[in-house]
């Protein structure tokens, strides 16, 4: 195989209220294939199905996608609340140790939205269940109609909604060749306290954390709160992120291939 393989985590979904399934948004797969230049391989976010050692022996990178379910508050020592459901505890049980394993083994890791939040929790950080409830914060959730239904216009839903200030000289600023960007916003939870190895490199205009890296990671280990998978074919910011992720996976793939020769 000439292309690197990037594992894309699944999300639990109940089909027709009775059939358990694992799903991945197609935009994630397209971003990996068309922009990162890799083969996307979905894996189940179910600990009884997915062996992390076997997974990391198979893939050259891991993409932690967004998802409707929140990270369970017990993972950061907070009481759960029905208002903040649904939760996906199987995904928590796979994603959190997987993040640590990726960083320990030097496997390129890219976290988006929920994946970004999982990265923070994996290294001891905490989340707020509704960032918009904090004083002075924006409503970061997706636009809705007056009747509460999700707005039908996808272009409006995924439109850039606020600026992000990047740390001067940081990984994101160097990669994106600028210190201010504009991004979309479709999330409820957000970072409250950064984890021990989490370096904050991007802050929204309301001080919400938007971009992070893992300190002293041997390879690509970045997370973004916005949905970078939506438009990387046309958005230069998101394209640069997926291209860099793909390049890191390709480097690992070449090294692994050479080791088998």
Which residue reads 């409006």 in tokens?
A: 156
pLDDT at 171: 97
Distance CA 211, CA 223 (A): 6
pLDDT at 88: 92
E strands, the chain, are: 5-9, 11-15, 19-23, 39-43, 61-64, 109-112, 126-128, 162-166, 180-183, 190-193, 198-204, 209-214, 221-224
Q: Of 72, 84, 128, 227, which one is the catalytic site residue?
A: 227
Q: Of 113, 187, 210, 253, which one is the catalytic site residue?
A: 113
Q: Are strands 61-64 and 109-112 parallel, antiparallel or unpaired?
A: parallel
pLDDT at 150: 66
Q: CA gyration radius for the chain?
A: 17
The contacts of residue 164 (CB under 8 Å, 6+ apart) are 180, 181, 182, 183, 202, 203, 204, 210, 211, 226
Q: What's the pTM value of the predicted model, to 2 decimals? A: 0.93
pLDDT at 184: 86
Is 162 assigned a catalytic role? Answer: no
Is 113 assigned a catalytic role? Answer: yes
110 contacts 232 by C-beta, under 8 angstroms: no
pLDDT at 154: 67
Distance CA 197, CA 138 (A): 27
Distance CA 113, CA 202 (A): 14
pLDDT at 162: 82
Q: Of 140, 210, 229, 253, which one is the catalytic site residue?
A: 229
Distance CA 47, CA 91 (A): 8
pLDDT at 137: 73
pLDDT tens string 117-128: 999 999 999 998
Is 227 assigned a catalytic role? Answer: yes
| Positions in the chain whose pLDDT score sits under 70 | 83, 138-146, 148-154, 156-159, 259-261
Q: What is the CATH number of domain 3-257?
A: 3.40.50.880
Distance CA 76, CA 54 (A): 27
The contacts of residue 64 (CB under 8 Å, 6+ apart) are 9, 95, 98, 99, 109, 110, 111, 112, 114, 115, 116, 118, 119, 223
């Amino acid at each position: 195989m000439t292309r690197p393989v990037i594992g894309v985590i699944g999300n639990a979904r109940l089909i027709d209220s009775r059939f358990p399934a694992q799903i991945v948004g197609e935009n994630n797969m397209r971003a990996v294939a068309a922009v990162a230049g890799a083969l996307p391989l979905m894996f189940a976010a179910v600990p009884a199905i997915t062996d992390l050692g076997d997974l990391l022996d198979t893939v050259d990178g891991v993409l932690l996608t967004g998802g409707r379910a929140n990270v369970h508050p017990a993972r950061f020592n907070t009481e759960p609340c029905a208002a903040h459901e649904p939760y996906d505890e199987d995904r928590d049980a796979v994603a959190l140790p997987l993040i640590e394993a990726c960083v320990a083994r030097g496997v390129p890791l890219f976290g988006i939205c929920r994946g970004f939040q999982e990265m923070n929790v994996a290294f001891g950080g905490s989340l707020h269940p509704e960032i918009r409830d904090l004083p002075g914060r924006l409503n970061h959730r997706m636009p809705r109609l007056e009747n509460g239904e999700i707005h039908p216009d996808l272009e409006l839903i995924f439109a850039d909604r606020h600026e992000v200030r990047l740390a001067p000289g940081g990984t994101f600023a160097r990669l994106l060749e600028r210190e201010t960007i504009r991004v979309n916003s479709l999330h409820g939870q957000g970072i409250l306290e950064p984890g021990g190895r989490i370096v904050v490199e991007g802050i929204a205009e309301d001080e919400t954390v938007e971009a992070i890296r893992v300190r002293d990671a041997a390879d690509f280990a970045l997370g973004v709160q916005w949905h970078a998978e939506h438009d990387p074919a046309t958005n230069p910011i998101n394209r640069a992120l997926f291209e860099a992720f793909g390049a890191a996976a390709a480097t690992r793939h070449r090294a692994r291939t050479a080791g088998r020769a």
